[in-house]
Structure 1
Amino acid sequence: MLGTLKSSVVLDNTAPMTEVITVDTLSWNYFYEQAVQLLHVTAQILPTLLLGVILLVLSYLISGPLSRLLIKPIDYMTDSKLVHLVVRRSISTLIILFGVYLFLRLAGLTQFAVAIMSGTGLIGLILGFAFRDIAENFIASLLLSVQRPFKIDDVIEVDGRLGIVKKVTARATTLVDYDGNHIQIPNATVYKNTIKNLTANPKMRGRVDIGIGYDNDIRSAQTLALDIANQQNAVLSDPPAQVLIKNLGSSTINFVLYFWVNSEQHSPLKVASQLMRELVNEFTKQNISMPDDARERIILTDP
């Protein structure tokens, strides 16, 4: 019985054996096995990854033609170039984002792709703050396209900047001023500020300032200036040109010649320049003086 007890104790104190396997990480066999395993994994995911890249590139290439095809129905609703441009760019952006989503799904980044598409979670919150201005400008571009306060090639003044509208994107409105400078104004700024459209009405008024001496007949000078303006082909008869007295200077009676032109055909500045030249020539022929402002000179001499 004692022998049996001793035998039982020995069996109970026997612990299970653990096999220890040592791997030499510096051996060539280890590197070879790791390289083979890496190549095997790469060979498995490479076709899927290549397919994702192909879909991404394909979505970028077809975004332009497909967006132009999809906006065809808009031609029957509006002829606004701004609406066409904004809608086409929006469709193109959505197609590219869909390609990015497919690429992430095929690359195994399913959760990341879903987070981007859904816009939820911390990533969506961060992106929302980061792209707040972009979203604001994009919405402003849509509102400008619908309300149409101006169109391409219109001359507008916004936030103290005057220029010709050349392009409207999802981010900004591009103006070209009369010095040839390109000015990009964010759409949100354009929408929030007062827009002065100088070409919404094709009839634009110009002016020429005239000063004659006090020794001249006022009515004759007014009639002559009005006749010169009416002889110009660029000056419209409706509304008619007018010559009004502006003020009385120190040595001149100052007039203003107001005239109207079709801004789509003629430049008010060029017509005003032509009128100035004709006025100087005719006033000189008619002996109508145009003196400078009087200047008083005081000469001090020693007593």
Structure 2
Amino acid sequence: MELDALNNFWTLIYDKVNSWVESGIKLLPNMVVALIIAIVFAIIARIAGRLMSSVLHKMFESKQIADLLAAIFRVIVFIAGIFIALEFLGLTGTVTSLLAGAGIVGLAIGFAFQDMTENLIAGIAMGIRKPFQIDDVIEAEGVFGTVKAINLRNTLVETFFGQLEVIPNKILFRNIVTNYTHEGYRRIEIPVGISYADDIDEAAHLIESKLKEQDWIINKDDVNVFAEGFGDSSVNLLVWFWIDYPGEPGYMLARHRGVSLVHKTLAENNILIPFPIRTLDFGIKGGEKLNAMLQEQQKTSANQYDCEHSREKRDSVDRSNRDKSQ
């Protein structure tokens, strides 16, 4: 009985192995073809990745973004070859399971690293859109400075105070970014006030003429001086002119020269830049005016002086009379 059971066991194993060998022999050509397909797609992915990398390096300023996109493209091509090879072997269910598993894993990774993923996608989008480049002067979310590096997750900006600010790419992608370098020029605005006694048109003409003589100012026809309004002690003017940016002499030096030139021009032509003058008035809502208070104080002081003088005179007369009587 035991011998029959053992014979049945070995017979079952032999039949199973024999069926596997027969199936393997039948699938051997397909397996060879699938292997060749996988090798061919691996070679294609490698070549295509290099070509894509060279193209992306010309498109993007960031080397990291270009390398990442090239690597993603290379992996996609290779995975497509693997799926074709599996499909050629008749493993349709395996391909479907792999696709479903990849989707679930990708979804889980997306939720787990949501912030990182968002910065990464924003970095790639900005690399394509190119709102700014390295060495551009930008302003965003209170940070004002020069772009030093553009990475996949963040952008490095060196402020004009010498600090290095690390800004997540999603912040730059979501909010307004001002690029001062893109157009190649920049306007400088200088406010100045002149006295009410001076002529506005004459002051504007003098300032415009002097500014148009400067070589470092561009677009001479766009040099303008406008009356902004009436201040507490002056008529307020706005002086506008344009400079190359970035370039020489630089924004701060150009602004310094502009302020100095406006001040010198007005001083040479006897046009006053007034400073605030305040008059104290105590006459509001029942109070006394300052001049009335001063006059009252002067009268009081005069009366006190007269009283003291009269008293001293009487005392002197009394002393004189006592001396005579003695």
Give the TM interval when normalised to the shorter protein: 0.5 to 0.7
Distance 2:70 2:170 in 1: 21
Distance 1:156 1:248 in 2: 34
Select the residue among 177, 189, 194 that pairs with 1:212.
Answer: 194
Distance 1:227 1:79 in 2: 46
- Once the 2 structures are TM-superposed, how far is the Cα of residue 160 of structure 1 from its aligned partner? 3.1
1:276 aligns with 259
2:182 aligns with 200
- Once the 2 structures are TM-superposed, how far is the Cα of residue 217 of structure 1 from its aligned partner? 2.3
Distance 1:240 1:216 in 2: 24
Q: Is residue 56–residue 70 contact of structure 2 (8 Å, CA) maintained in 1?
A: no
Provide, for residues 168-211 of structure 1, a one-character-per-residue CA deviation record: whole Å limited to 9, x for no partner.
Answer: 11111111122112111111111111222222211211111111
Distance 1:203 1:281 in 2: 26
- Per the alignment, do residues 125 and 265 of structure 1 end up closer, same or farther by CA in structure 2, a change over 3 Å counting? closer
- Once the 2 structures are TM-superposed, how far is the Cα of residue 233 of structure 1 from its aligned partner? 1.4
Select the residue among 81, 102, 116 that pairs with 2:61.
Answer: 81
**Which amino acid is 1:151 matched to?**
Q
Distance 2:103 2:238 in 1: 64
- Per the alignment, do residues 94 and 254 of structure 1 end up closer, same or farther by CA in structure 2, a change over 3 Å counting? same
Q: Is residue 243–residue 257 contact of structure 1 (8 Å, CA) maintained in 2?
A: yes
- Once the 2 structures are TM-superposed, how far is the Cα of residue 254 of structure 1 from its aligned partner? 1.2
Distance 2:50 2:145 in 1: 29
What aligned pairs does 1:1-303 form with structure 2 within 5 A after superposition?
A: 71-75=53-57, 78-82=58-62, 84-89=63-68, 127-237=109-219, 240-266=222-248, 267-298=250-281, 299=290, 303=297
- Once the 2 structures are TM-superposed, how far is the Cα of residue 235 of structure 1 from its aligned partner? 0.9
**Which amino acid is 1:86 matched to?**
I
**Which amino acid is 1:287 matched to?**
N
Distance 1:149 1:238 in 2: 29
Provide, for residues 208-252 of structure 1, a one-character-per-residue CA deviation record: whole Å limited to 9, x for no partner.
Answer: 111111222222211111012112212112552001101112321
**Which amino acid is 1:220 matched to?**
E
Structure of higher CA gyration radius: 2
Distance 1:210 1:154 in 2: 31
Distance 1:214 1:68 in 2: 72
Q: Which residues of structure 1 form unaligned runs of 5+?
A: 1-66, 96-114
**SS at 1:81's partner residue?**
coil
**Which amino acid is 1:85 matched to?**
Q
CA RMSD of aligned residues (A): 2.9
1:61 aligns with none
Higher share of residues assigned helix: 2
Distance 2:253 2:116 in 1: 41
1:112 aligns with none
Higher relative contact order (CA 8 A, sep 6+): 1
- Per the alignment, do residues 119 and 286 of structure 1 end up closer, same or farther by CA in structure 2, a change over 3 Å counting? same
Q: Is residue 141–residue 171 contact of structure 1 (8 Å, CA) maintained in 2?
A: yes
- Once the 2 structures are TM-superposed, how far is the Cα of residue 263 of structure 1 from its aligned partner? 0.6
- Per the alignment, do residues 68 and 285 of structure 1 end up closer, same or farther by CA in structure 2, a change over 3 Å counting? farther
Q: Which residues of structure 2 form unaligned runs of 5+?
A: 1-48, 75-97, 282-289, 298-326
**Which amino acid is 2:270 matched to?**
N
**Which amino acid is 1:233 matched to?**
D
**Which amino acid is 2:66 matched to?**
V
- Once the 2 structures are TM-superposed, how far is the Cα of residue 120 of structure 1 from its aligned partner? 7.2
Q: Is residue 80–residue 151 contact of structure 1 (8 Å, CA) maintained in 2?
A: no
**Which amino acid is 1:285 matched to?**
E
Q: Is residue 186–residue 243 contact of structure 2 (8 Å, CA) maintained in 1?
A: yes
- Per the alignment, do residues 297 and 224 of structure 1 end up closer, same or farther by CA in structure 2, a change over 3 Å counting? same
- Per the alignment, do residues 147 and 261 of structure 1 end up closer, same or farther by CA in structure 2, a change over 3 Å counting? same
Tell me how many residue pairs correspond in the alignment. Answer: 212
If the length of structure 1 is used for normalisation, what is the TM-score?
0.61
